[in-house]
Structure 1
Amino acid sequence: MLHFNKAMLLIASMAMSLIVASGCASATKVDLREALAKTLNASQKQSVEDTISTWFGGAKITIADDAFSKTPQLIIERKAQRDSRGLPVEGRHDNPVFSFTLLSNGEQCILRNEQSGELAKLESVSCYFVSDA
């Protein structure tokens, strides 16, 4: 009987530890919401391009000057190879598109790679929640 009580006590203490740990984890969870950029000057735009470039192994990335000003999503595709007349080589291309979402926790702008789920802080970019627009 004593052995049974010790086992129950051990199980109960482990269960309490899990409950406390899960409560702490949910209390520190950050609420990320979609956001728009307040402004995107040349250096801020370069910061976004560099972040995306890192996810693509250093490939040169170019985004529009007004990226994230009207929508929190950014969609890019790889540049299609073109012939001397400017037409896509071999007709249409089937290059995949890649999407990114600008998020905020209320203090920091964060870029999410929608393909991998990775997040990156954008230190120099100011943004606000879409719902505050």
Structure 2
Amino acid sequence: MNKTLLLTCTLLASLAGCKSTQAEQPQDATLVRVNPGVITELQQAIQSAKGGAIVTLADNVFTKSSELLIDHGTNKGPDGLPIMGAHAIPSEKFVLQKSGEQCLLYYPKKELRIPLPNVECEVN
């Protein structure tokens, strides 16, 4: 009887331990507050993820939605019309997420998550 009880308790304790060590799945989030430091950190994370120049972000970025779409500018020829194929470049998508207490910038194109240590966000 005691061996069965001991085995049951050990099994239950090990299952509880496994569950508590699993990493929390990131959830979509929005910013709690936006200031120049937050904008700079987001710009640097976006540049790090996709490369290229620093992007300009609105003052209310990630406050209403967890998603950000960045469109590429359309190059125009000397006649003022879009250059063939220049308008076919897809938008770049970024998602603000939260895992535990950490805010992350997720770049689905590369399956990349960049920690944002100085950014405060909340799950939608």
**TM-score (norm: length of structure 1):** 0.68
Deviates more, 1:74-83 or 1:48-57: 74-83
**1:1-133 residue pairs with structure 2 within 5 A?**
24=18, 27-82=21-76, 88-90=82-84, 93-130=87-124
Give the Å deviation of 1:25: 8.5
Aligned length: 109
Contact map agreement 2:24 2:100 (CA 8 A) in 1: no
Deviates more, 1:76-85 or 1:121-130: 76-85
- Bigger-Rg structure (1/2): 1
Gaps in structure 2 of 5+ consecutive residues: 1-13
Contact map agreement 1:110 1:120 (CA 8 A) in 2: yes
Give the Å deviation of 1:119: 0.3
Q: Aligned AA for 1:66?
A: N
SS state at 2:87 partner: coil
CA distance in 2, matches of 1:91, 1:112: 28
Deviations 1:92-114 (A, max 9, x none): 71111111111112411111001
* RMSD across aligned positions (CA): 2.5
CA distance in 2, matches of 1:126, 1:59: 25
Taking a change above 3 Å as real, the CA distance of residues 84 and 125 of structure 1, as seen in their structure-2 partners, is farther
Percent identity over the alignment is 29
SS state at 1:36 partner: strand
Contact map agreement 1:34 1:72 (CA 8 A) in 2: yes
